[in-house]
Every structure is written in C-alpha cells, then in structure tokens.
Amino acid sequence: MSGHVSPKSTYYAIFGALMVLTGVTVAAAFVNLGTFNFPVAISIAITKATLVILFFMHVKYSSRLTKMVVAMSFFFLAIMFGLTLTDYMSRGWYTSPRGSTGAGTQVGVSANPPARTETAPAAVQEPAP
Amino acid sequence: MAAHADSHGHGHVHAHHPAHQHHFETMEQQSEAATLGMWLFLVTEVMFFGGLLMAYLLYRVWYPHAWSEGSLELDIVLGGVNTVVLIGSSLTMALAVRAAQTDQRRATIVFLILTMALGLTFLVIKFFEYKHKFDTGHVPGPNFHFEGPDAPQVEIFLSLYFALTGLHALHMLIGFGIMSVILWMAIKNRFSHEWYTPVELAGLYWHFVDIVWIFLFPLLYLVDRSHHFA
Amino acid sequence: MITATATESPVNYLNHQSTVASWLLTKDHKRIGLMYMVSVTIAFIIGAFFAALIRAELATPQGDLLSADVYNRVFTMHGVAMVFFVLIPAVPAILGNFVLPLMLGAKDVAFPKLNLLSWYVFVLGLTFTVGAMIYGGVDTGWTFYPPYSTEGSNSNVLLAGIGVFITGFSSILTGLNFMVTIHRMRAPGLTWFRLPLFVWAVYSTALVMVLGTPVVAITVAMVAVERAFGLGFFDPRLGGDPVLFQHLFWFYSHPAVYIMILPPMGVISEVIACFSRKNVFGYSFVAFSSLAIAVFGFLVWAHHLFVAGISAYSAMVFSFLTFAVAIPSAVKTFNWTATLYRAAIWWKAPMAWVYGFMGLFLVGGLTGLFTASLGIDIHIHDTYFVVAHFHYIMVGGAIMGYFAGLHYWWPKMTGRMYHDGLAKLSALLVFVGFNMTFFPQFILGYLGMPRRYHMYPPEFQVLNLASTAGATVLGIGYLLPMLYLTYSFFKGQKAGANPWLATGLEWTTQSPPLPHNFIEQPIVTEGAYEYSKREIKVA
C-alpha cells in the first residue's frame, strides 16, 4: 500500500509549533482581553487542531474524500451550534406590545433558588399496574 | 478503478497478504476502505462530544460569572502539563505509524510503548485532579458544596467538566485497549510498508482524542484567568 | 430441489451451511439481513401489541381499561419500540443489508464482522428495552423530556435509556458500513450516476445515521447521568434549561424521520421503474433530492419546539426551513408520477404497496405543511392532528415502502414466490384499515383532542371508535403477509433469477444468491434503468 511518509523533522516541527501555541494560549488567558479572550482561545485551539489533522493525521496528503469527510463533521457541528443559538440569542427580542411569545433571555434564576435536596413534587402514586 | 473480471474460483492463484480479506479485490481497496471507515467513525465522535459542547456553549453565554469561578477552581498547572503530555503522546504515535510505514519493528514498538506511557501519565494526573474535587466537595450531585452566590451555575459548570473530561478519559482508556492490541501485533512483526493499516487507524483515533483535549483545555481551564468576570 | 442449470447452482447462501453457529456467527450480509428481519418483526409485534392496547382504551371516553399511569407507559413503549426498533432499522438493516452489496456488484459490505456486531448490538439494546418493559415500563413518552425524565418519573428511565443508547450504535455502525461500501466497493463501470436510486437513498440515510445518532446518544446519556448521579444539565433550579434537552434530542430525532423515510422512497423508485418498464423520470433530480433531504433535514428540528418557549424569531426561521425541506420530497413525488404517466404498468403485488405509499405519503407530507405553519401549530401541537400526520408518513409511508420492498425482493431473498392475489389483498386491507384508523384522528386533533390522554370528552367517541375499528382491519392487513410470506419461504413456487425481468445487478445472479453473490464480478456499462434497450415482452 502506498501512503505518504512524512520525514521525522516534520513531526518534530509540528510538535514544536503545538508547544508554542499551548504556551501562547496559556499566556493569553492571563491577559484581560474582555470578550476577546474566548475567541482568541478558540482560534488558537482551532489552529492546533488543524495542525494535528493536517500533519499528524496525514489529511494534507489524503484523498479529497477524506478532506470532505473532515470538513463535513465540523460543518454539521456548526449547524447544531448556530441554529440552536438562533433561539437562545433571540429570546427576549421585542415582538409586540403584548410581549414576546418566547421565554425571557434566560430561565429565571432567583437569588435563593430552592436547594436541590428539597424534594421535587412527589411522583404521583398510582396503583401498581 | 481497473476493469477486470477475475474469476475467484479455486484455480486462481496470486500471492495473498495474510491480512487480505477476500470480499475486497485488492489490499489497497481494503486499506482505503478501512481508513474511510475510521474517519467516518471519528465524525460520529465529533458529533458525540458536540452535544456536550452545545450545552457548554449555551451555559457559558448565560453564566459568564459562574464559568469564571468554576474554571478558576481547576488546577492550570496540572491541566497544562496534561496538555503537553497528550500532545507529546500524539507525536510519539505519529512516529510509531511512521516506523511501521518504514519497516522499523523496534522503533514501532518503542514509540507505541511511549505513547501508552504518556497516556497513562495523563490519566494519573487526571485521577489526582478528580480526587481533589471529591475531597473539596466539588462533585455535582447531592453532596455538592460550593461557596459563592453562583453555586448552582457552578454546579452546572462542574457537571459539564466531569462529563467532558470523563468522556474523554473513557476514550483514552479505550485507546489504551486499542494500543495494546496494536502493540501485540507489532511485537509479532505483523506490520510492514505493505500493510500497516491498524497502526494508522489507531493513530487516527489517538490523534482525535488529543484534539478533543486541545479544545477542552482552554474551554475548561482558561475561561477567565485574568479575572475579568470574577 | 433446485435443479442446477448452466448459470445456477444448487448451493446458495441459505442452504450451504445450516448449523446454528453458521447463522449466529455469519458474516454474510444476506443472512444478517434475515436476522434483522426476525428481530425487527419481534419488535413490531411488541409495538403493535401496545398499539392495540391504546386503541382498546380509546374506544370509550372513560379511562376504564388502563389507569392514566399505565396508559402513559403503554404509549411510551409503543413509541420506543416502533421508532427505535422498527422504523429506523427496517428498510436499511433488512433490505439495505441484503440488497446493497448485490446492487453494487460486491461480495459483501465493507466490514462484514462489524455488520454482525451491529446486529448483536441491536439485539442487546432491544433486550434492555424489553427489560424496561418487563420491569414496569417507562412513562415519559418516547421523547424522554426532562425534568420529568430526570426527576419526576419513578419508572425505568435508566433501563430504557440504556437500551436506546446501545441501539443507536447499531444504527451508527450500519450507516458507516454502508457509506464505505458505496464509496469503495462499486463494481467496475458503476459510476455514481449509474447507481440505482435505492443506493442513493441508502447513502443519504447512512449520512444521517452517522451524523445525527451520536447526538441523541449523548443526550440520553446526559439524562441518565443527571437522573442517576444528580449531575446538572437540564435542571431549572440550577439555572439549567429543559428546552436545551429538546434542542439536542430533536437535532437527531427529526433527521431520524428521514432515516425512516428515505430508504422506503428508494424502494419506491426501484419498484416503479421495474413495473412501469421505464427509467425513472428525472433520475438525477431524484438522486440529488435524497441528498437534499438528508442535509436539509438537519436544519428543521426546532419545529418540534414551536410551543416550548423558543423565541418567535427562531421559530420563524425553522418554520421557513421546514417548508423548504418539503420541496425535495415533492420533487420525488412528481417524478414518480411522471414515471408512471403513460407507462404500460405491470400490475403485480409490489405495485399495490407502492400505490398505497403514494396516497398515504402524500397526505402525510401535506399535513406536515400544516404543522409547519406557526399559527396552525399553536392549535394542533400535541393533538391527534400531529399523531395522524406522523403515522401517515411513518406507517403509511415508511412501513408500506418496507412492504413494497419486501414483496419486490422476496423472490431474490428466498428463491420463492408468494401468492400475488393475497399480497394485493393485504395491501388493500392495510390501505383501507390505515385510513380508517388515522383519518379520523386529523379531525379529532382539529377539534382539540389532545394526545397522550387515556380519556376524552364523550363527543369524541364516534371518531375514536372508528379509529379503533380501523386498527382492527389494519392488524389483519399486517397479519396476512406474516402468514403467506412464511408459507412462501417453505413451500412457495420457485422463482428464477429475475422473475420481475428487472434491471439491476441483484437480478443478474441466481435466487437465492450464492454465498458470495456473483460467480464473476460484473462490469457495468449502462445506466440503472435501461428498460428501453431491453427486448422484453411482459406476459
């Protein structure tokens, strides 16, 4: 069978890059970038993952089908995240003077939520079947 | 694809690799099929973790304060060391595949053992992290104790922490089992440049496990180390 | 005894080995397909038993046969059995397993041992679920919504959840196997656009199985873990959102209905092409519509959440997308009709089931548009209108499509013919019984009768009674094939390699096929439905 054989130096170089990026992401976490901390961390993670996928998993040298399969998984993950968030991000948006048909921006979180050890409403005791 | 109709009756003779499965015409077809199969399996794994990540994403948006508090409870040194260890094990795994590709039996075995050793290191460190959580009462459920106004949402954060890292650790354990089999096969000198597919597939699986951690580390440990929210 | 001819051998996949071990350890996709038929039929009988209980209870307005709690368990187990153990696997795991490698000119699927494992995993999942039933059942509805499933219910949620979780892997592995088989094991010359439409359908289904099932698996696992260990994912007291469960659950469960309907649609294409002796009109449109349904099907799930508290804006988005997903299904329906138009149709039993499918699927699909409309859905959500809608598609559509395929490929699978007249009668009984059962439910739902209640106001009784009466007819319609097909298996008239004079590689080999399918690997030089090139006079 013919598979691309990467030189060892490639692997060491990628490992080095991954170590550098790990250091960068840790350092960046201690810097207050406000709302940008999250996107920066995710971007670094995506970069690292891409390096692993392309070089350690040989996708760079694989067939077009393999590349499509990899892309497909992230595409559908993005659909799940994105479309679900269309609900959550738009809750509480104005709809009419009588109020929104959706719930508020988040489920009510009171200052003193009942402890979880307080029993849930006792399950209805039906006669045993 | 080459068009030829072979008669596969008993009179036909050509050298068969011992690992050749006869519903495939050629070894190459078999290897390509196996690799595609493993990639599709990894697709299912992406979606599997994806469900938990969706929950994480939603609650992080809703409860940045609690996420910050919860994340600061995790030991960044241990998490960072684990990241280095796991990426290192990916390196040794890639080198193991390469060794099998280039007919280096000894090197294959050494790199596989190194991969397993690094993986074991990861799990040991994880064990101590979990133990610390148990000792401080930070395990979600009926015995959860956490000081702070956001305790209920921190409980959600920690539920996701345990679910994500637990699922990840479970995958590592399975990876261990896979590695043991591959190691045994390598010791038995089953691999060569003609056929090293099992090593390659094990490698794909292991790299996937590494990639999951590459995301889990910042998502869980690096939420708000600059104390922007808490 | 089969007499050996120049192209036929007395040895076939059924008789070449007969020990129990040769079946339970088989790697032959054909035997595995039959084994699935046995386990799926058992699950169907279980689900039908619970359906009978439902209709018996609903014959009278009072909740007199079953208590509310028991009724909850009955409809839950009906749903769980039918959705996960009948509808999802029926066509792919039974007919797909049997026919796919034959259609591709291959000796087996890509991973035969994995295929066998899939069946064992299916049986294990079924065992857990039956275990849940025996221990008293589950009362959450097949949809397992928290917080009831995580805290309120004191039924066997964990057992049933484990059963569903395990069975999901059967689906995942089957889908994976099929995708690799189609990509890598097509015969020489069998390009994508020469593939039979059933293969396109199965491929699209496999795509959904691979991408969607893992999400419901992790979601059910989250419910189980929350219930068993008290971890918090959906608990509102912690600030969790039960609607998140619904998002995650339906992210799979909506595409799941396309797993249920795409393969039967593929069957319809095959049967229509054969019995109208024509290429399917607009072949590439039908092929692409399968892929479109698979992909678009992932974009519509929140139409199950319209009244759950999602935002009005996202509801509008999902409503629009739901209308869009109807388009590829409509394309198929138009193209099938165009295929039949001015064709000299050979009137045989498989076509009876096809006609039934087309009528019932049409009603089911159109009523989906009603439910997709936000304003209408506010009124009909969780009423019998929805129940009727999904039964028209799932039973009227998917199950009839399954029976069409079963009757079409039965001669190939068994080497025997069945009684054609009885088969047509069964199709008629199912069609009539089905409409009697479910059409009144549209009216009941429109009038406001809610689903999942064991009692109802007396003014709904006439329609409910009609529905129950129809269910009896439907039951007979399903019982008959079990009888005449079993008879046919042992005593039916021998069928040759190609009793329907159909195109397709599966018909070029003997019936029943050899253990390894073909004597020589076929080479393909023409499209899938080149009936015009054939000099065949049909009697």
d(CA B215, CA C330): 42
Facing A1 at nearest CB: one of B31, B47, B142: B31
In a domain, C12, yes or no: no
The pLDDT of C149-175, averaged and rounded, is: 94
Is there a contact between C215 and B44 if contact means CB atoms under 8 Å apart? Answer: no
| The residue to which tokens 């076939």 are assigned | C12
Q: What whole-number percentage of chain A has pLDDT above 70?
A: 71
Confidence class for position C538, pLDDT limits 50, 70, 90: low
What pLDDT, on a 0 to 100 scale, did the predictor assign at position B3?
Answer: 35
The predicted pLDDT at position C531 comes to 86
CB C438 within 8 A of CB C468: no
Interatomic CA distance for residues C536 and C412, integer angstroms: 19
How buried is residue A69: exposed, middle or buried, by Cβ count under 10 Å (0-12/13-18/19+)? buried
Dig out the tokens for C244 from the structure. Answer: 């998140």
**CATH number of residue C37's parent domain:** 1.20.210.10
Convert C381-420 to b/e letters by CB count within 10 Å (16 or more is b).
bebbbbbbbbbbbbbbbbbbbbbbbbbbbbbbbbbbbbbe
Reported pTM: 0.93
Whether A5 sits inside 8 A of B91 (CB atoms) is: no
**Is C383 strand, coil or helix?**
strand
Contact B37, C112 (CB under 8 A): no
Instruction: Check C311 against A84: CB less than 8 A apart.
Output: no
Q: What is the pLDDT of residue C126?
A: 97
**Whats the size of chain A, residue-wise?**
129
C246 to chain A, closest Cα gap in Å: 10
For A123, the closest chain C residue by CA position comes to: C152
**Residue C509 gets which letter from DSSP?**
S
Q: What is the pLDDT of residue A124?
A: 45
| Residues in chain B closer than 8 A to C251 (CB atoms) | 51
Q: Which amino acid is at C87?
A: L
All residue ranges of chain B with pLDDT < 50 are 1-12
Put simply, the answer to whether C298 touches A95 (Cβ < 8 Å) is no
| Peptide bond between residue B142 and the one before it cis (omega within 30 degrees of 0) | no
The model's confidence at residue C6, banded by pLDDT at 50, 70 and 90, is very low
Q: Output Rg (C-alpha) for chain B, integer angstroms.
A: 22
Rounded-to-integer distance, Cα C448 and Cα C442, Å: 10
Count of structural domains, chain C = 1
| Segment C123-142, tens digit of pLDDT | 999 999 999 999 999 999 99
Q: What would you measure as the largest C-alpha separation in chain B, in angstroms?
A: 80
Amino acid A103: pLDDT: 44
Question: Could you read off the pLDDT of C332-379 as tens digits, one per residue?
Answer: 999 999 999 999 999 999 999 999 999 999 999 999 999 999 999 999
Q: Across the interface, which of B46, B153, B222 has its CB nearest the CB of A41?
A: B222
**Quick one: pLDDT at residue C536?**
55
Q: Which residue of B has its CA nearest to A84?
A: B54
pLDDT of res. B9: 44
Q: Which residues does C186 contact at the CB level (< 8 Å), separation at least 6?
A: B1, C104, C105, C106, C195
Nearest residue on chain C to B63, alpha-carbon basis: C239
Alpha-carbon distance of C188 to B134, in angstroms, equals: 60
pLDDT tens figures, C308-327: 989 999 999 999 999 999 99
Q: Give me the pLDDT at residue C434, please.
A: 97
Nearest CA in chain C to B51: C215
Residues ≥6 apart with Cβ < 8 Å to B104: none
Q: A98: pLDDT confidence band, cut at 50, 70 and 90?
A: low
In the predicted model, is pLDDT for residue C245 greater than 70? yes
Q: What value does the mean pLDDT take over residues C385-400?
A: 96
Residue A54 near chain B (CB below 8 Å): no
The values of phi and psi at residue C517, to 5°, are 75, -60
Chain C CB contacts of B141 under 8 Å are 229-231
* pLDDT average, residue stretch A41-62: 96
Residue C13 lies in a domain: no
In the complex, which subunits touch B with 3 or more CB pairs below 8 angstroms?
A, C
Residue C154: pLDDT band with limits 50, 70, 90: confident
Tell me what pLDDT residue C9 has: 79
Cβ atoms < 10 Å from Cβ of C450: 13
Q: How many residues does chain B have?
A: 230
Residue B195 phi/psi, 5-degree rounding, is -155, 110
CB contact under 8 A, C110 and B2: no
| pLDDT value at residue C387 | 97
CB crowding C229-264: b at 16 or more within 10 Å, else e:
ebbbbbbbbbbbbbbbbbbbbbbbbbbbbbbbbbbb
CA angle B20, C185, C295 (to 5 degrees): 130
Q: How far apart are CA C506 and CA C269, in angstroms?
A: 15
Residue C535: left if φ>0, alpha if ψ -120 to 50, beta else—which one? beta
The gap between the terminal CA atoms of chain B, to the nearest Å, is: 61
Alpha helices in A1-127 (DSSP H): 8-29, 37-51, 64-89
Yes or no: say if C12 and C518 are a contact pair by the CB < 8 Å rule.
no
Are C184 and B32 in contact (CB < 8 Å)?
A: yes
Neighbouring chains to A with at least 3 Cβ pairs closer than 8 Å = B, C
With CA atoms as reference, the chain C residue closest to A77 would be C211
CA distances from C463 to B20, B161, C469 (A): 62, 52, 10
**Gap between the terminal Cα atoms of chain A:** 62
* C-alpha–C-alpha distance, residues B218 and B215, integer Å: 6
Residue C521: inside a domain, yes or no?
yes
DSSP structural state of residue C187: P
| Chain C environment of A121 (Cβ under 8 Å) | 152
- Residue C10 is assigned to a structural domain of this protein: no
Omega of the bond prior to C147 within 30 degrees of 0, cis?
A: yes
A128, pLDDT greater than 60 = no
User: Dihedrals φ, ψ of C450, to 5°?
Assistant: -80, 160
Domain limits at C121?
A: 29-533
Chain B contact probe: residue of C117, C173, C179, C180 with most B CBs at under 10 A: C180
Query: What angle, 0 to 180 degrees and rounded to 10, lies between the N-to-C axes of helices C157-184 and C97-104?
Result: 10
- How many angstroms separate the CA of residue C232 from the nearest CA in chain A? 10
Domains in chain B (CATH in brackets) are: 27-221 (1.20.120.80)
DSSP state of A113: P
Q: How confident is the model at residue C36 (pLDDT cuts 50, 70, 90)?
A: very high
Summarised one tens digit per residue, pLDDT across range C267-276 is 999 999 999 9
pLDDT category at C184 given cuts 50, 70, 90 is very high
Give ∠ CA B151-B152-B158 in degrees, rounded to 5. Answer: 85
Return mean pLDDT, chain A.
81
Average of per-residue pLDDT across C428-451 = 97
Please compute the mean of the pLDDT values over residues A16-25 and round it to a whole number: 97
For A6-45, letters b (16+ CB in 10 Å) and e give: beeeebeebbeebbebbeebbebbeeeeeeebbebbeebb
8 A C-beta contact, residue B195 and residue B17: yes
Residue C209 is predicted with a pLDDT of 97
What ranges do the domains of chain A cover?
7-57, 61-89
| Closest-approach residue (CA) in chain C for A129 | C70
Chain B touched by C183 (CB under 8 Å) = yes
Residue A100 has pLDDT above 70, yes or no: no
Task: Give the whole-angstrom CA distance, residue B185 versus residue C391.
Answer: 52
**Residues 64..103 of A with a Cβ closer than 8 Å to B: which?**
65-66, 69-70, 72-74, 76-77, 80-81, 84-85, 88-89
Say which of C147, C239, C314 has its CB closest to residue A87. C314
Tens digit of each residue's pLDDT (9 = 90 or more) over C467-514: 999 999 999 999 999 999 999 999 999 999 999 999 999 999 999 999
3-state secondary structure chain B: CCCCCCECCCCCCCCCCCCCCCCCCCHHHHHHHHHHHHHHHHHHHHHHHHHHHHHHHHHHHHCHHHHHHHHHCCCHHHHHHHHHHHHHHHHHHHHHHHHHHCCCHHHHHHHHHHHHHHHHHHHHHHHHHHHHHHHCCCCCCCCCCCCCCCHHHHHHHHHHHHHHHHHHHHHHHHHHHHHHHHHHHHHCCCCECCECHHHHHHHHHHHHHHHHHHHHHHHHHCCCCCCCCC
Within a domain: C185: yes
C312 contacts A100? CB cut-off 8 A: yes
* Whole-number pLDDT of residue A123: 45
Instruction: For residue A41, give both structure tokens.
Output: 């961390």
CA dihedral B185, B188, B194, B197 (to 10 degrees): 0
CA dist list (Å): B38 to C176, C255, C300: 9, 23, 29
